[in-house]
Amino acid sequence: MKYLGITLERPKIGVFGFTGCEGCQLQIANKEETLKNLFNSIEVVNFREISSDGCDDYDVAFVEGSITTESEVTRLQKIRNQAKILVAIGACACLGGVNNLKSRFPLSDVVKEVYGMHPVDTGPVRRLQDVVSVDIDLPGCPISKSEFEWLVRNLVLGIKPQFPQYPVCVECKQQLNSCVFDMGMMCLGPVTRGGCNAICPRNRFGCWGCRGHSEEANFESLMRILRERGFEDEHISERINFFNAFNGIL
């Protein structure tokens, strides 16, 4: 492949899933209109969701899902040892995600509630970075197809990706969106990292914080605004803790 007359290497890519819904992998596989061009720039050698073939000779590993069992720890460490670059994709891999909700309760109670007395191999929810070193976090629930493409282009060209650090509110203003606060909805856009083009507020849903916190996020101001608008602390806590995006901050 050539770019501006320069011959570029096609990196070998592996895509892997752990505990999660595989929605981020589906985002990649569903890139109908640009999938051909994407696969012309990379060589996919391991991606269970699109092919039963696979090998362990890859340069970049895109990994979805949180880690909840010791067998997953072993498998993730093997992937990390092989990959030159490891990218955590999605809120579960980057933050713990929705899976982290079970951490609010005793693990034995959670398993019994869902599986009864049937034995289940499960443990505390961990982010990828809690187990191995992660080179890049690609956040979201699910990830953005266009942002994934952008990241792949940067990797192919050898450019260090620079993710937005401003909050979602900036993108709302850029798109002239009506503020969902004025519609009576709760929104974490003021403290959540942008880059999603404000997809939830744009569609009249308050932000849930799936991309993690923005740089210099003013949490005290957000809490004051939420309380002034009549939201109870229990409701606020439910929203803030949903993706585990603000753990240790709020």
Paired tokens of 33? 């209109």
Taking only the tens place, the pLDDT of each residue in 185-208 is 999 999 999 999 999 999 999 999
Burial of 188 (0-12, 13-18, 19+ CB in 10 A): buried
Specify the amino acid at residue 221: S
Residues 85-90, mean pLDDT to the nearest whole number = 97
Q: What is residue 250's predicted lDDT score, i.e. its pLDDT?
A: 54
Residue with token string 């969902």 = 180
Detail the DSSP E strand segments found in 53-174.
Answer: 60-64, 85-89, 136-138
Helix axis angle for 219-228 and 233-240, nearest 10°, is: 140
Beta bridge partners of 62: 15, 87
Q: Which domains does the chain have, with CATH numbers?
A: 2-157 (3.40.50.700), 168-240 (no CATH)
Choose among 198, 188, 183: nearest CA to 225: 188
Tell me the pTM: 0.92
Taking only the tens place, the pLDDT of each residue in 14-62 is 999 999 999 999 999 887 788 888 888 899 999 999 888 889 999 999 9
Choose among 130, 145, 147: nearest CA to 25: 145
Q: Which of 104-108, 179-183, 192-196 has the lowest mean pLDDT?
A: 104-108
Q: What is residue 43's predicted lDDT score, i.e. its pLDDT?
A: 93
Taking only the tens place, the pLDDT of each residue in 129-151 is 999 999 999 999 999 999 999 99
